[in-house]
Amino acid sequence: MSDYRRWYVPGGTYFFTIVTYQRRRLFDDEANVGRLRAAVATVLKEQPFEVVAAVVLPDHMHFLWTLPPGDDDYSKRIGRMKVEFTKSLNGISMPRLAVSESRRKHRESDVWQRRAWEHVVRDEHDFERHFDYIHYNPVKHGYASCPHLWPYSSFHKWVGRGVCDQRWACQCEGRSPMSLDFTDIDNSVGE
Catalytic annotation present for 152: yes
The whole-angstrom distance between residue 149's C-alpha and the CA centroid of its chain comes to 18
- Under 8 Å between Cβ of 111 and 137: no
Which residue among 74, 133, 136, 152 is the active-site one? 152
Spatial separation of the C-alpha atoms in residues 123 and 120, rounded to whole Å: 9
Cβ atoms < 10 Å from Cβ of 4? 7
Task: Report the distance separating Cα 76 and Cα 14, nearest Å.
Answer: 14
CA 37 to chain centre: 11
Cα–Cα dist 109/96, whole Å: 9
Do the beta carbons of residue 58 and residue 26 sit within 8 Å?
yes
Distance from first CA to last CA of the chain, Å, rounded?
Answer: 22
Residues serving a catalytic function are 152
